[in-house]
Every structure is written in structure tokens, then in C-alpha cells.
Structure 1
Amino acid sequence: MNTNLIAFFIGLFGSVHCIGMCGPLAFAVPSFHSRWWLVVADKITYNLGRVITYSFLGLLIGLLGRQLWLAGLQQGVSIISGVLIIAAGLSRLLKIKFSQSGFISKMLAPVNRLLTYALKHKAGHLAIGLLNGFLPCGFVYLALVGAVNTSSPFASAQYMFWFGMGTFPLMLIATVSSGFIGPAVRRSINRGMPYVMVCLGLWFLVRGLGLNIPYLSPAKQSSGVTICH
């Protein structure tokens, strides 16, 4: 399966989770227009800001992935990524909770301060969308794991772009209609997400094993470069 298509579906299914986590922030950004199409334009701009940030993060993670690719470590990274994603999915299925690091909170403090400042001074939907993309999100991290397994910074940025576009439809409808998906529906879909994560992790794991299965698990040449089919 095309990796960008996988990224799109991760974003599409994960956007239900995003509505619950990031939705309140999106709803807090006021639109001062009376015409409905201008309100929709504001919300499109907000979501485009998120997509731009995701693509930028993909470019950064792609620079790391490119070095791993050239060093012949890409398939090992794919295996490790698969194991981590499976572990994350199983932890949700088994309801295992991990304590959050204070270090992460300190790292995110500047982003939170910028968001507060932007909201207070009515910086606009694009600026808040750009900042929103830097907030911690398990599904963004999941997408970045997939992005680091691409072969170039451009491919990684493209992967994250399609992930962002996957989140676009539901987030746009939710921000325009102030949350059309009820809590019961979100809970039902969120219960299914760990299974999706386990399946995705298995795909990364099999892909890294180099079983010479076209599209699913490409073979690996002695030079360390993966054969693309």
C-alpha cells in the first residue's frame, strides 16, 4: 500500500481523537465574520496552518531518516518503529498508563505561552493553526514514526502533509459546526484505534524484515539500499 495513503488514513481515523483533544482550542478561536463562507474560510485557514506545521515537522524528521537510509539502518528503524507502535497499541488495549515526563512539559511551555499570547491578541486562525501543530499528540507522533521510515526529507514532508490532509475533513466540519461528533461516537472509534495501531506496527515490522514481498516487505540489497517496487 502507498505510504502516503496510509498517512492519510492515520490522519482520517485519528482526527476523531483530535476533535476531543484539540477541538476545544479550535473552538476557542473566534471568527468575527457574519457571513458563513468567511467563517468557513477562517476555519480552513486554521487547519491549513496545522498541515503546514506537520509538513515542516516531517521535513525535519526526514533529515534524520535520510541519514539512517544512507547508513543502511532504515530497515532496522522500521522494525524498531513497528515494535514501539505495537507496544503503544497494546498498552491502550490493556489500559496501561505511563507517567508523563516533566521534561516534556518544560519543552512545550514556550509553545503554550505563544498560543496564549496569540489568542489574547487575536493573532488569527493561520498563526494559531501553525502553533497548534506543535502541541503534543499521540497520533502526530505515530505519523512521525512513519515519516522517519521514508527515503528522503521531501518524502517525509509529503507523508506528514497527507497525514494532515487526513485530519482536515472532520476537523473542518467540527470547527465549523462546533463539534458534530458526540462523545459516544468518539469513544467508539477511539476503542478501535489501538487495533489499527497494532496492525500498522505489524506492517512496519514486516516491512523492515526485508522478505522480498512486493509493496509489503521490499528486499534489501547488500549495499543497504531498499529496492523500491
Structure 2
Amino acid sequence: MMVEGIYISALLTGLFGGVHCLGMCGGVVGALTFSLEVKNQASWWRMLPFQLAYNGGRILSYLLIGALFGSLGMLLNSLATLLPFQQLLQVFAGLFMIALGLYLAGWWQGIVVVERIGQGLWQKLAPYAQRMRTVKNIRQAGLYGLVWGWLPCGLVYSMLILALSSGGAFEGAMVMLAFGLGTLPNLLLIGAFAFYFTRLARKTWVKAIAGLSVVVMGLWQIYLAMVVSVN
């Protein structure tokens, strides 16, 4: 149940974290759709393969880094007492998700400090992302998403900590796959209705619901870790 619970938490966090996705990736997705429609004079439905390719590339990046963190967690587990250390990582992931939920709700901005950790890497990748903005085919859209998957993001970081506690490379990759699939509906809808969803995400009640949902997911992760320790 512990691993299955992690996957469910990752999926729901991706879904409820759509408010954050609007700020981090929504502009990219909306601009991608808009630029393609202008160039090709096509409807959004004709642009759907490009959106899927972009998101496929983004999720592939999540899979790769999830496998890396899962492998690192397995290595750390082998150097410590397996179960207690894994539980500690899961509790830490839960606490991070609670902090993220407070940030999404607009009640605490501490998570911004964590997002700055990845700025060094992103500064090296940003020029490539800028050059890829002129998307002409599906392959380029996929490559564009592959680069944007490394954008510094507290939501992604919280899932990477969860991947670290998952127990292995495959499990870590599956955590990030579940998370990526959870973000997919929001970002596809953003591509179609960017203006409407941007306005909606700014509403206080929407941010509060999204933030509280992620807080609940964080509390659930801590509960799962505690249940394992009791059993």
C-alpha cells in the first residue's frame, strides 16, 4: 500500500497543482498553441498533436529525473536501515507537500527559496528553450517540452523527494509519470482556453482549494509513513 499510496499522491498533486502549472508552464503552452494557430491558421484541435508532443517531452524529462532520484534513494537506503530511512524520506516529502500547498494557496511563500536551487541549471538550459520557441513540427514540440521539463518548480521538487523515498529507479520514474499525467489535463486545457484558465487561477477560492488539496496529500503521505512504522 505504501508505494501505491505514493503513486496516488503524485497523480492527485499533479492534478490539484494546476494553479501552479499556470504560472510556470501555462504561458509556454498557451504561447505554443497561439503561435501555431497564427502560422497554420488552424483550430486548437489541429494543434492537439503538438500539445501532446510538448507534454510528452516534459513528462519524459520527469521520468528520467525520477529514475535518477529513485536510484539515489535506493543507494541511500542501502547505506542505512532500509525501512526507517525510507519512512523518514516520505515524511519529509509530506512536509514539503504541505509547504507547497500553503504556497499554492497564497498563504506562505517559503517554497520560492527552494525553487531558486535549480536556477543555476536552468540558466544553462534557458538559451536552448528560447531557440526552440519557433516550433514548426511535432518533433520540435517534443524537444521543447523535454527542455522545459527541467524548469525549476517547487511542485516538481516535492515529487522528486517522493521519488527519492519510493525505493528504486523504476518506482521513482513511476512517481514522476503519475505526477506528469496528473498535470496533463490542466495543461491541455490551458492550451485551449489559456485566457479563461489564467483568470480563473487568480481567484482566491481556486488557489485555496488547490493549496488545501495538496496539503491533504502531504498529510496523507505522513500518515502512510506512520502506519508502516506502527505495523
TM-score by length of 2: 0.78
Flag the 1:59–1:110 CA change in 2: closer, same or farther, 3 A: same
Deviation at 1:96, TM superposition (A): 4.6
Q: 1:168 aligns with which of 184, 187, 200?
A: 184
Structure ID, larger Rg: 1
Residue aligning to 1:86 = 98
- 2:27 pairs with 1:24: yes
Alignment of 1:207-218 (within 5 A): 207-209=224-226, 217-218=227-228
Deviation at 1:34, TM superposition (A): 4.3
Alignment of 1:80-229 (within 5 A): 80-90=92-102, 94-97=107-110, 100=113, 104-119=118-133, 124-187=140-203, 188-209=205-226, 217-219=227-229
Deviations 1:184-221 (A, max 9, x none): 44433222233233323322323333xxxxxxx2247x
Deviations 1:100-142 (A, max 9, x none): 4876433320111111122258572111111111001121112
| Alpha-carbon distance between aligned partners in 2 of 1:39 and 1:98, rounded to the nearest angstrom | 34
| Alpha-carbon distance between aligned partners in 2 of 1:178 and 1:99, rounded to the nearest angstrom | 24
Could you tell me which amino acid in structure 1 is paired with residue 228 of structure 2? P
Which runs of 5 or more structure 2 residues have no equivalent in the other structure? none
Of stretches 127-136 and 168-177 in structure 1, the one that deviates more from structure 2 is: 168-177
- 2:63 pairs with 1:55: yes
Flag the 1:182–1:100 CA change in 2: closer, same or farther, 3 A: closer
| Alpha-carbon distance between aligned partners in 2 of 1:106 and 1:144, rounded to the nearest angstrom | 18
| Alpha-carbon distance between aligned partners in 1 of 2:31 and 2:75, rounded to the nearest angstrom | 40
Q: Return the structure number with greater helix share.
A: 2
| Alpha-carbon distance between aligned partners in 2 of 1:175 and 1:87, rounded to the nearest angstrom | 28
Query: 2:13–2:217: 8 Å Cα contact kept in structure 1?
Result: no
Could you tell me which amino acid in structure 1 is paired with residue 88 of structure 2? G
| Alpha-carbon distance between aligned partners in 2 of 1:5 and 1:98, rounded to the nearest angstrom | 23
Flag the 1:83–1:170 CA change in 2: closer, same or farther, 3 A: closer
Deviation at 1:19, TM superposition (A): 2.1
TM-score by length of 1: 0.79
CA-based RMSD of the aligned residues comes to 2.8
Which runs of 5 or more structure 1 residues have no equivalent in the other structure? 210-216, 221-226
Flag the 1:219–1:11 CA change in 2: closer, same or farther, 3 A: same
